[in-house]
Structure 1
Amino acid sequence: MTKNELHIYLHSGRLSKADVDQLVAKLTLQPDLVGPLLKEILIEEKEGTYNASWTFRHLMQTKLDYLLPFLNEFTEMLGNLTSEATIRAMACVCEMVCVAYFKKKDLTFLKNCSDEQLDKIMTACFDWLISDMNMAPKVFSMTSLYYLGLKFDWVHPELRQILEDTYASGTTGYQNRAKKTLDKLAQIGR
């Protein structure tokens, strides 16, 4: 698949889950297309579509290490996103990166993720958590921020305060994740 073929495929109408799975299978054999896929996310962000972000999320669930050569581009774009569908997918990828770095202690991520990149993820996650949007990006952001707080001391008190302030007004899913996150914070004394 070429960059142009990827562009055409992503802009051929709404992709089904089977279409995304088929595209991800092709992309797992072509890691060089991750950069163009990220550019497609920004194009679709302006158009209000989300085939590229949905595909990107599913590709990262399969081959998260494919993100590493493009981590600067990924973290740079986070603060510029406005579409909730795109933000949901990118928040999920942020959570995957944080789990790989902090929970799994994946050496590839430990060696290749800079503090500056983690800071950009952290900033985006705080923005999404306090914004007026659907709960899915907020839930992914909570988990990312919990892990980021293991490295950046000031994060946990801020996260705790936000969760305590927003708990009552959240959906059931939000409240469940917030409670789990608050319980984890209490377990580590934060």
Structure 2
Amino acid sequence: MTLFLVLGFVGLALVLLTLLVGDHLEAAFGGAFNALEGDVFSTAVIGGFVSAFGFGAAAAEGAGLPVLPTLAIGAGSGVVVGWFAWWLTKLVKDGPSDGTVSIGDAVGQVGRVLTPIPGGDSYGVVRVSVGGHVMQCNASALLAIEAGAEVSITGVLSPTAVTVAPVWKPES
């Protein structure tokens, strides 16, 4: 039983190390865990399997079962916990990402003029919120637009400049 408990605690320590230092742990072993590509043999999965194997086998042995059923229960526990660790790792790694906001994402959004836009080839400044990120851009418009007016971003001129048009508000 002592051997199984030691295995359980070693696996638990590996899981804790994985949580604390992540990919640095795999690099410390010289990429040995990367020999088999994929998430199936990550440190989290191996640690979960070893820990569950040890504790499951210790519980079975403590219940007075013979060696073969004890090893089977330990292996079954290890496979279940290892699969769960693999599934959680996959879920986190494949989860959605907002990515980097670019000026092209502002097209179609409504912003507010900070400095007046004279119209023609001259520029003013607008502020627009894109996905929770506030961007300030130089802005050009065909007609003059006063500061404080709402505008719609209609196009991108450069990485720092957009074209805008006033937001139409019907008269009541």
Both structures adopt the same fold (TM-score exceeding 0.5) = no
- When Rg is computed on C-alpha atoms for both structures, the one with the higher figure is 2
Q: Flag the structure with higher strand content.
A: 2
TM-score by length of 1: 0.22
Q: Flag the structure with higher helix content.
A: 1
